[in-house]
Structure 1
Amino acid sequence: MKAKLLVAVVADELEEAAREIAREEGARGMTLLSARGMNFPEHITFFGLTYLGIETVLAALLDEATAVRIAERMNVELKLLEPFQGLAFCLPVDGTGGIDIDALHRHIAEHAPAGRLEGGER
């Protein structure tokens, strides 16, 4: 099993929907970080103020198929590719120090959503 780090940066008002998508697709836990976003070039708002959007960064270590499925679904359903909404993507994980990958694989197999196996096979 290959591990991927799912990273989703979403507008604060989309956090709950993003967590629900991840949960529905098999993520069993994630780290949430509060953030502020700034665009380049800067987005100027009313009275010339610079927009600093309140955002949430969601991170989860998952098997490759699950991470990719969650990122794709978040980007489509939450319209993350539109301006000021965010982005969901996956990063490869070469080393997993302190994490028993075999135990992670067993956990995924035991808790996979009904009808889904590793790799999205049925």
Structure 2
Amino acid sequence: MNHELIMVIVNKNLNKKVMEAATNAGARGGTILRGKGNSIYEKHSFWGIEIEPEKDVIFIIVEEEIKVDVLNAINEKLNLMKPNSGIAFTLKLSDAIGLRDHYEESSQRN
């Protein structure tokens, strides 16, 4: 089975919406990290000090067959086509350790 990594970067505290959309579309879970980032369109300052906005970075590994469904669900929930709303992209996984056991265990439970 081929897998892909979906990476989603959104403003802080939107990770629950991302994961809700992803799991409703078939993803089994994800990893959430905090990050900082900016763009030329998103500058914030406080008393002349530039502030880097905090971001949620979400990693979701899915089967290749459901990748588009998960991406579309995330986009529908967060409207990522709107400026400064976030970004989602995929990376093909060539090798991964630990996934097989996870998928075998979940299929045995069903």
Superposition TM-score tier, normalisation by shorter sequence: 0.7 to 0.9
Task: Specify the alignment match of 2:68 in structure 1.
Answer: 68
Q: What TM-score do the two structures reach when normalised by structure 1?
A: 0.70
SS of the residue 1:90 aligns to: strand
Q: Distance in 1 between matches of 2:90 and 2:52?
A: 25
Task: Specify the alignment match of 2:11 in structure 1.
Answer: 11
Q: What TM-score do the two structures reach when normalised by structure 2?
A: 0.76
Q: Distance in 1 between matches of 2:35 and 2:66?
A: 25
SS of the residue 2:84 aligns to: coil
Task: Specify the alignment match of 2:35 in structure 1.
Answer: 35
For structure 2, the residue ranges without an aligned partner over 5 or more in a row are none
Taking only aligned residues, the RMSD between alpha carbons, in angstroms, comes to: 2.8
Q: Distance in 2 between matches of 1:69 and 1:109?
A: 24
The one-letter code sitting in structure 2 at the alignment partner of 1:33 is L
SS of the residue 2:14 aligns to: helix
For structure 1, the residue ranges without an aligned partner over 5 or more in a row are 112-122
SS of the residue 1:71 aligns to: helix
**More strand by proportion, 1 or 2?**
2
